[in-house]
Structure 1
């Protein structure tokens, strides 16, 4: 830190020039990043059963039209009238001409799928679009065409798997932009209250935005080598703004103190890097360790979030230790101008009398503080025991989003199962399908058709009623049978395909039981099989995340324990920090479960009541982000406790003095963090809203109940054991001194 502080403070213009060039080069790529992100989690599971089924259908069955856009039309006059039917037929003909649409299946009067209601005012039209390359572009053209249809005769809305995924990506980007625009003025106002000067207020915002820009450009580069999650953008924004402003608060405050000791701004900036910079670097390292835990699961979707988080934190730390001191070295006393407010209540270098008195009251009754705060946190965490995770699909979007609202009409027509189809591939183990297999295959199809909740089974075995509903006349029925036959056998006739269509779009909570009954029937048939489809892909992603969570937690705990042990030369302090941070995360997870899954206060927060599950990535994201950020406040407080203790204060007095000196910094930083996180609660993507809610709750609990009540009380009870370290370990550990 001494070398870095010396270089940056003595060559500020060169430092700023380097970052300026990096920012200019980053902006074009950062702007392209949101459009390149992906909202499909299951696509990152390359070895998953659903992924293998998709590959078999493409490579062995020649299936190219499994991606379906569903157009829901409301017609006035009804389709049964000449005028209504003419308007609808014009829609269908124009849809066939849209570039990228390979096939259009119009509504059939009286048919099961696609269909129309009894009055002929509501109907479904299916448009097959590319499965992978060009899917988003083709869907955009379909939507543009639908929007241009004469709304006086037909109102057209588009849904389907691709539409839902694209809406997730679009609204996640919009949520992030709106959150930034909403949070920045509020943060600026709070920083002005904290610093009292416009220049000092602008510095933390500049550092946060600079690190976000470079991180997003790097994220865009990653999209060319791996699948990158939509949520990576939200995590980068949260960490870039939240952590960046936290670190800037610490650095600017220390610089002001150093200026009072030495009026030379370059020496003050150098000293700031050597003191507060150490705490910033150490805090950033703990956050980076937590985010790096997300790189462990073999899931590209989750790894991209971890990589994005690590990038954001490291760049934020680097900007805080280079750009900020360079600016401070150039500004000097001008950092305090123009003085708008005459008080700087949060960033005074002196201890707060009120917070010192509060700490004395807490440490006077440590058992009451520990037991009371722990009981409250456990009570808040209790609902997390009932947490159900999964992929909510369209229900993970807020009402008012077209793909979600249109799905309601699809459900009303009894066609919701179109979005919950299960694909079964049966293996004849190298033997070609022959006449002797017919009875066995047909028996399995009939058993699948008879299962509860199954609306239909697509196979070669159709009844006269199936033929009539498929086309309405002999030629149409024979054509339908021909298509079914081609789709049911692989090109070498050694694989058989069956598509099971449920009676409705299955909520995530109901998919496991439906999957279980399918597997039981398939296993009894004696065929080796693979089971795929969108519901299975979502379930596999959820199970992969759940299975990876223990490894993520263990890795983060181990890394954090070692880091804190070295920093504070203690075994008890890192153990205490891990347990209390975990308790904070559990309490936040309980609150999110209560709101999102059980609907408590969901309405006022704009969270739909029919989501039913938490996004599968939420627990691991909440743990990694909040566990890392909690360490900021932990290090701010503990470094001061250690500093006072090394100066000769008793353990109890060191705790009281540390709270008096750091409580205002911690509460100011926490309010800013809360604003950043809470801004995401007002978005359109339920997963982003849930993450924002969880982090907002966690930061409030951590900065108040945990850091200012539970931790001081525990440190009081532990006494001299806080700083105990075996002699053999004491001799071997490197020495690090943290100051702020």
Structure 2
């Protein structure tokens, strides 16, 4: 660390030139990264739904199972000659859109209603590519819908691809808006803390710099793997939140050191050796927590973990290199121009008010621990009823086209088109013959009779079924039957296919009961079977994330325990840290569950009341980010307590002095993080809003109730046991000293 401090303070221009070159090279790829991110939750290589998709493509020749749903409002109604003529013109042009392989007109869906009774609302299905070219085809469909829409014909587009594209678009725009909203508010807080414009600008610069370089790294990741749209949100939160946090600590320590002798180079060097050590250690704990996202076997989630680790490491690197280099050059000018002069401006000096609070807390530590713990546990209780899954279009706020159009599809009674289950029946290598027909038809009839099933697409539909409301009959129905037969048998006729359409769009919390009824019929059929489709894939994805959470938690716990044990030469301190951080995470889980799933205060926060579930990645993301960031405040406080103990103060007095000296830093940093996280609540992607809400609540609780009440009270109760470590273990562990 000493070599680094001497290098960055003796060669500041070289350090700044290298960072300037890096920022310049990163600018273009960073700007291109957002458009290459994906909202597709992905799939699991060996999952049942993935095997079904593979069989449909390889054995049934199914290449265009992706659909775009066009919801059209007619005035005059479709039942009038003028309305029908306008609709026919829409169909004619839609069939010519490049990439559209087939168009199913309104009324031609058989048992699925696609025209309202008054003829003013209709649904048209356009089949588009499943993977390559899907986004481009959908963009052309949307552009066409915009062109033909006008007087008497309003067209909106939804479907799986449309929902995913809207997620990507609004996740990007929400993140940019959050940055623009958070930066000026953060600048005001920093101005109040430092009172000087130069000192205010330095933390903001570090945050923006680390985000830019991290997003360039994410762009590189998009070249080799699919990267989640939420990676951008995580990077922005960590880059701004942690970056400003660390810079606040560094600039505060530099101002203190500069006041001693006025030597800017020496002050910057001492800042790296003291505050820089704490920043390095804090960043390492955050990076370990973010690495937990790499554990699930899902590229989509792993990309978020890699992006988070990259953002944290770059933030730490910028904080201990470019920032001290600037400070060494600026010297006393860091305090100019002086705009505000507040007596509580950030410094290492003890605060009388916070010291007095610490004395009151430690005077009755048992009561403080009991009441604080009970309060956090009460907040965490709703998390026991947490339901997770893929919210689909309901994970967007009203006003987004794909969500509003899907609401119309639901009102038509055709929402099940986006929740279709694909059934593959295996004849054990034997070709389908007359003896199999009755058994196959019996399975279809049993599936059709299940509650919640709107229709079952199979070879046993009649021409009347296919004609539906349109009443086309005749040649059209016979042609449709021919197509239906070809889709129902594999090319070698050893596999059978059935598509089950529910009578409504299934939310994540409704998938398991419906799927259970299907599997009950299929198990009794005598056929070997596979069950796939979008609902099954979503459920498998959610379950994989849920199953990965215990391993991620244990990995982070173990690594963090070892790091804290090395840093503070204690067994009790790291154990206490894990328990209290867990309480904070649990409280955040409970509040988010209560708001997003339960609907409490959802309206004022702009969260729809029909989401029903939390995004399946939310518990893991919240745990990783929260656990890492909570350790920042833990290390700020504990390192000062340890420092006071090493100076010879008794444990109780060391706790009081540490709170008095660190509370300003902790509360100021927490206020800044709260602003950054709360800015995301104003977005249009519910998952981002949920993450922002959870992080904002956790930071507020962690920096006040936990660090300034619960931790000091616990340290007072533990007394000398805080710093107990067996002699044999003390000899084995490396030595590390933290100061700030």
Under TM normalisation by the shorter chain, which class is it?
Answer: over 0.9
The residue number in structure 2 matching 1:447 is 446
User: Aligned equivalents of 2:296 and 2:552: distance in 1?
Assistant: 8
What is the CA distance between 1:471 and its match in structure 2?
Answer: 6.1
Classify the secondary structure of the residue corresponding to 2:132.
coil
Question: Cα deviations across residues 21-64 of structure 1 (Å, max 9, x unaligned)?
Answer: 111111111111111111121x2422211112111111111111
Classify the secondary structure of the residue corresponding to 1:400.
coil
Question: Cα deviations across residues 165-202 of structure 1 (Å, max 9, x unaligned)?
Answer: 11111111111011001101100111111111111111
User: Aligned equivalents of 2:343 and 2:424: distance in 1?
Assistant: 68
Greater shift in the superposed pair: 522-531 or 609-618:
522-531
Q: Structure 1 residue 179 and structure 2 residue 178: aligned?
A: yes
What is the CA distance between 1:632 and its match in structure 2?
Answer: 0.2
1:284-433 alignment, distance < 5 Å: 284-343=283-342, 345-433=344-432
User: Aligned equivalents of 1:117 and 1:245: distance in 2?
Assistant: 55
Is the CA contact (8 Å cut-off) linking 1:74 and 1:123 kept in structure 2?
A: yes
User: Aligned equivalents of 2:4 and 2:317: distance in 1?
Assistant: 11
User: Aligned equivalents of 2:611 and 2:345: distance in 1?
Assistant: 41
Greater shift in the superposed pair: 503-512 or 715-724:
503-512
Is the CA contact (8 Å cut-off) linking 1:346 and 1:665 kept in structure 2?
A: no
User: Aligned equivalents of 1:55 and 1:206: distance in 2?
Assistant: 49
Q: Structure 1 residue 506 and structure 2 residue 520: aligned?
A: no
Greater shift in the superposed pair: 92-101 or 154-163:
92-101
Q: Structure 1 residue 490 and structure 2 residue 521: aligned?
A: no
Is the CA contact (8 Å cut-off) linking 2:108 and 2:466 kept in structure 1?
A: no
Q: Structure 1 residue 465 and structure 2 residue 492: aligned?
A: no
Is the CA contact (8 Å cut-off) linking 1:101 and 1:127 kept in structure 2?
A: yes
Classify the secondary structure of the residue corresponding to 1:148.
helix
Classify the secondary structure of the residue corresponding to 2:154.
strand
Is the CA contact (8 Å cut-off) linking 1:471 and 1:477 kept in structure 2?
A: no
Is the CA contact (8 Å cut-off) linking 2:111 and 2:455 kept in structure 1?
A: no
Q: Structure 1 residue 531 and structure 2 residue 531: aligned?
A: yes
What is the CA distance between 1:610 and its match in structure 2?
Answer: 0.5
The residue number in structure 1 matching 2:258 is 259
User: Aligned equivalents of 1:371 and 1:396: distance in 2?
Assistant: 38
What is the CA distance between 1:114 and its match in structure 2?
Answer: 6.0
Classify the secondary structure of the residue corresponding to 1:665.
helix
The residue number in structure 1 matching 2:25 is 25
Classify the secondary structure of the residue corresponding to 2:524.
helix
Question: Cα deviations across residues 336-379 of structure 1 (Å, max 9, x unaligned)?
Answer: 11111122624122100000000000000001100000000000
Classify the secondary structure of the residue corresponding to 1:525.
coil
What is the CA distance between 1:80 and its match in structure 2?
Answer: 1.5
What is the CA distance between 1:615 and its match in structure 2?
Answer: 0.7
The residue number in structure 2 matching 1:595 is 595
Is the CA contact (8 Å cut-off) linking 1:75 and 1:154 kept in structure 2?
A: yes
What is the CA distance between 1:427 and its match in structure 2?
Answer: 1.5
User: Aligned equivalents of 1:165 and 1:40: distance in 2?
Assistant: 6
What is the CA distance between 1:110 and its match in structure 2?
Answer: 9.2
The residue number in structure 2 matching 1:627 is 627
The residue number in structure 1 matching 2:730 is 730
Classify the secondary structure of the residue corresponding to 2:501.
strand
Question: Cα deviations across residues 579-624 of structure 1 (Å, max 9, x unaligned)?
Answer: 0000000001001111111111111111111011111111111111
State the TM-score, normalizing by the size of structure 2.
Answer: 0.99
User: Aligned equivalents of 2:265 and 2:346: distance in 1?
Assistant: 21
User: Aligned equivalents of 1:502 and 1:384: distance in 2?
Assistant: 30
Q: Structure 1 residue 211 and structure 2 residue 201: aligned?
A: no
Is the CA contact (8 Å cut-off) linking 1:105 and 1:114 kept in structure 2?
A: no
User: Aligned equivalents of 2:466 and 2:174: distance in 1?
Assistant: 47
Classify the secondary structure of the residue corresponding to 1:127.
strand
Is the CA contact (8 Å cut-off) linking 2:67 and 2:127 kept in structure 1?
A: yes
Q: Say if 1:273 and 1:631 are closer, same or farther in 2 by CA, change over 3 A.
A: same
The residue number in structure 1 matching 2:645 is 645
Q: Say if 1:328 and 1:118 are closer, same or farther in 2 by CA, change over 3 A.
A: same
The residue number in structure 1 matching 2:160 is 161
Q: Structure 1 residue 108 and structure 2 residue 107: aligned?
A: yes
User: Aligned equivalents of 2:158 and 2:111: distance in 1?
Assistant: 18
Classify the secondary structure of the residue corresponding to 1:351.
coil
Provide the aligned C-alpha RMSD in A.
1.1
The residue number in structure 1 matching 2:246 is 247
Is the CA contact (8 Å cut-off) linking 1:114 and 1:125 kept in structure 2?
A: no
Q: Structure 1 residue 223 and structure 2 residue 227: aligned?
A: no
Classify the secondary structure of the residue corresponding to 1:496.
strand
User: Aligned equivalents of 2:322 and 2:431: distance in 1?
Assistant: 69
The residue number in structure 2 matching 1:8 is 8
1:565-714 alignment, distance < 5 Å: 565-714=565-714
What is the CA distance between 1:498 and its match in structure 2?
Answer: 0.6
Q: Say if 1:467 and 1:67 are closer, same or farther in 2 by CA, change over 3 A.
A: closer
Question: Cα deviations across residues 142-181 of structure 1 (Å, max 9, x unaligned)?
Answer: 1111112241120100001111111111111111011001
Count of residues paired in the alignment: 739
Classify the secondary structure of the residue corresponding to 1:104.
strand
Gap regions ≥5 residues in structure 1: none
Q: Say if 1:45 and 1:344 are closer, same or farther in 2 by CA, change over 3 A.
A: farther
Is the CA contact (8 Å cut-off) linking 2:463 and 2:473 kept in structure 1?
A: no
What is the CA distance between 1:113 and its match in structure 2?
Answer: 3.6
1:472-483 alignment, distance < 5 Å: 472-483=472-483
Is the CA contact (8 Å cut-off) linking 1:195 and 1:344 kept in structure 2?
A: no
Question: Cα deviations across residues 242-271 of structure 1 (Å, max 9, x unaligned)?
Answer: 000000001001111111123221121111
User: Aligned equivalents of 2:712 and 2:154: distance in 1?
Assistant: 62
Is the CA contact (8 Å cut-off) linking 1:288 and 1:313 kept in structure 2?
A: yes
User: Aligned equivalents of 2:368 and 2:729: distance in 1?
Assistant: 32
Question: Cα deviations across residues 286-306 of structure 1 (Å, max 9, x unaligned)?
Answer: 000101111111111111111
Greater shift in the superposed pair: 432-441 or 653-662:
432-441
The residue number in structure 1 matching 2:270 is 271
Is the CA contact (8 Å cut-off) linking 1:110 and 1:116 kept in structure 2?
A: no
Is the CA contact (8 Å cut-off) linking 2:111 and 2:465 kept in structure 1?
A: no
